Amino acid sequence: MSIPAQSAPPRTSTRPALALIVIAAAQLMVVLDSTITNIALPSIQKDLEVSASGLSWIVNSYVLAFGGLLLLGGRTGDLYGKRRLFRIGLTVFAGASLLGGLAPSVELLIAARVLQGLGAAVIAPTALSLIATTFAEGAARNRAMGVYAAMSGLGATVGLLLGGVLTDYLSWRWVMFVNVPIGVLVLLGARVLASGEKLHGELDVRGAATATGGLTALVYAIIQGGDRGWTDPVTLGMFTVAAILLITFLRSQRRNRHPLLPLRLLRDRNRAGSYVTMLFIGAAMLATFYLLSLFMQQVKGYSPVRAGFAYLPFSLGMGMAAGIGSRLAGRFSPRTLAGPGLVVAAGGMLWFSLLEPSSSYFTHLMPAMFITALGLGASFLPMTLGAISGVDRNDTGIASAILNTAQQIGGAVGLAVLATVSTSAADDKLPHADVAFFRALASGDQPLIQRAVDALSHGYTVAFASAVGFLLAALVITVTTLNASPQQRTEDAAPVHIG
């Protein structure tokens, strides 16, 4: 379906500070929903009688829909108007949150999470594009990007903190309900955003279907591989389906006049490096939140609210790194900022791999969290700036969406891989360790509880050690691909024009 261009010139926001608050609040809401359910997972598992594999789908259903549809969401914003789609995305997200809070079964909860992901897939790329509409290139945009990057990092930890408070004092259902008033407030504030220019083009619905289907099949195959074995017919069949769909998607993008993923955007070495690096960062980060949340509640016996507050050092480290990075972005190259950050993050992750059931929070968990967050925070801003530097105005929404897609899909695949690694390692110590843990708690069998705790702890630490590999891969890509100077980055951003 072709979309005619709008004849009137784009209207820019006359209140950029208020516009930034609206954009930042939307990004915070979208990102925190990737993690807010993590703290509530044990409560959801008990209330809805969810299996271990079903538990990971409560997180991954949102992340997959979010990441898989981001390219379509970014393109839709370019064609129909960013502010209009921003509002539609907020409405879908808030409505799905209400549905999820009322869900009587895990199946309906997962369906609501998919709808939340759909709304987020529209909100996130339009929000990032609207920053370029509102703020001029240079220092103003760098500061705004710093705030956006901080929301991307802080949203994850705020979600964990808020999830703990809501689960402990109200119910796990409030991790869904809380998005409704936030969404309504952001929707009301969207009036201050720039209206934007509508561009010519078509929606590649078939491309969106093959990309999302292929990624879903890939994650499902990884999870099934851990449950049934890597030679199981279902596992092999899903890997085959994933390969066929993803290859079909890439081929269609090469031929399509209006592709969801313009392959020309990947020809720029720095931009392609930013995307791939963010893929690995997302893989390590989302899986870390998932595994740490379970470690603190199952192994250490923390309550949901205590586990949520335990993440405060993560928020502090992420916020400090984002603030410092926004001031240094104009003076140092992306490689100079992101490279050392990834080394620090890998060191923090390695520290996590040394956790034991007897590990102290103040001498082990807290410093490891702070160091990991400091390193990850230092790497977010260079990747965010690299995503929209030097792109044509017709591709700005897509360029922004690819970065978010890389982070979310990396998170989904990383979570599937590391959750499988964790489960396999735990089962080597005690078959079906997670089931044994809950049965032992119900019966009060202390020896079995201790055996299950030891097995689960072993599984989590093996997964943390594996996550170090993701961050080292990100480091190698950063060092070998990101070589633009800060002056080049500023100049490259000049042609960017968001409608």
pLDDT digits (tens, 9 = 90+) for 2-43: 344 443 444 444 567 777 888 888 878 887 777 788 788 888
Q: Which residues of 47-61 are buried (b: 16+ CB within 10 A; e: fewer)?
A: ebebebbbbbbbbbb
Listed range (249-253, 419-423, 437-441, 486-490) with the worst mean pLDDT: 486-490
Report the percentage of the chain scoring pLDDT > 70: 82
Predicted pLDDT of residue 101: 92
Nearest alpha-carbon partner for 32 in 123, 121, 153: 153
H or E element in which residue 207 lies: helix 205-228
pTM more than 0.85: no
Q: Which of the pair, 361 or 198, is modelled with greater confidence?
A: 361
pLDDT of the residue at 138: 64
The total number of residues written for the chain in this structure: 499
Mean pLDDT of 152-171: 77
Q: What is the dihedral of CA 279, 281, 287, 289, to 10 degrees?
A: -140
- What's the pLDDT score for residue 137? 63
| Average of per-residue pLDDT across 126-155 | 70
Encoded amino acid at 360, one letter: S
Indicate the helix (H) or strand (E) that contains 402: helix 396-429
**CA atoms of 50 and 412, how far apart (whole Å):** 19
Weakest mean pLDDT among 7-21, 105-119, 422-436, 465-479:
7-21
8 A C-beta contact, residue 17 and residue 143? no
Q: What is the pLDDT of residue 4?
A: 40
How far is it, in rounded angstroms, from Cα 160 to Cα 367? 18
Least confident stretch, 234-243, 418-427, 431-440: 431-440
Predicted pLDDT of residue 76: 75
Quote the CA–CA distance of 366 and 195 in Å, as a whole number.
44
Average pLDDT over residues 350-378: 91
pLDDT tens-place string over residues 224-256 = 776 677 788 888 998 899 899 989 988 888 877
Tens digit of each residue's pLDDT (9 = 90 or more) over 109-122:
999 999 998 898 88
DSSP codes joined into one string, 367-396: HHHHHHHHHHHHHHHHHHHHHHTT--GGGH
CB distance 207 to 261 below 8 Å:
yes
Would the pLDDT of 354 be above 90? yes
pLDDT at 3: 40
Residue type, 426: A
More confident residue, 290 or 78: 290
Q: What pLDDT does residue 468 have?
A: 94
- pLDDT over 80 at 317, yes or no: yes
Interval 137-147 mean pLDDT: 69
| Sequence-ordered list of residues with C-beta below 8 angstroms from that of 134, at least 6 positions apart, any chain | 12, 13, 16, 19, 20, 23, 144, 193, 194
Count helices and strands in the chain by DSSP H and E runs: 19, 0
Q: pLDDT-based confidence at 423, cuts 50/70/90? A: confident
Residues 115/96, Cβ–Cβ less than 8 Å: yes
Which one has a higher pLDDT value, 6 or 58? 58
Distances (CA, A) of 220 to 56, 239, 487: 11, 9, 44
Specify the amino acid at residue 351. Answer: W
Q: How far is the C-alpha of 101 from the C-alpha of 99, rounded, in Å?
A: 5
Per-residue pLDDT band for 173 (boundaries 50, 70, 90) equals very high
Q: So what's the pLDDT on residue 154?
A: 65
Task: Name the phi and psi angles at 197, rounded to 5.
Answer: -100, 140
CB atoms within 10 A of CB 221: 22
pLDDT at residue 280 greater than cutoff 50: yes
- Local structure of 48: helix, strand or coil: helix
Segment 445-471 mean pLDDT: 91
Model confidence at 218: pLDDT above 50: yes
Lowest mean pLDDT among 41-45, 52-56, 287-291, 393-397: 393-397
Mean residue pLDDT across the chain: 79
| Per-residue pLDDT at 85 | 83
